[in-house]
Amino acid sequence: MREAGAEYNPTIAETARVLQAIGEADCDIMYRYGIGQDFVSGELRQIVAERAPRQIAIPENELRLLLPLIERGMSHVDDISGEACAAVETLQLVLGSPSA
């Protein structure tokens, strides 16, 4: 479990979920494919996708330096997701507000 899941950095609860999935695996799947690294990685991928986004703190001065670079980089990409555009707009609004 440690080796197969190292890149996902699972918590103890997440590790328990994978072990539970192994215990509840369909016998047909177990005999046909086995329970190996692919199974464990697949379960961890699903768990990671369910994780809430981390909240991190970045100093305002660093964000002010990065925002123009991000905007320039985005201008060179044709297919930008709405989520990415919304994130940049949020940064612009926060950094442009008087309390920032």
pLDDT(100) > 60: no
- Looking at residue 98, its pLDDT comes to 75
- Looking at residue 99, its pLDDT comes to 66
How many other C-beta atoms can be found within 10 angstroms of the C-beta atom of residue 70? 14
Look at the block and give the residue holding tokens 């590790």: 15
Average pLDDT, stretch 82-93? Answer: 85
pLDDT(63) > 70: yes
Average pLDDT, stretch 51-68? Answer: 89
CA–CA gap between residue 9 and residue 44 (Å, rounded): 9
Tokens read off for 76: 């060179």
Average pLDDT, stretch 68-95? Answer: 83
CA–CA gap between residue 72 and residue 88 (Å, rounded): 11
pLDDT(4) > 80: no
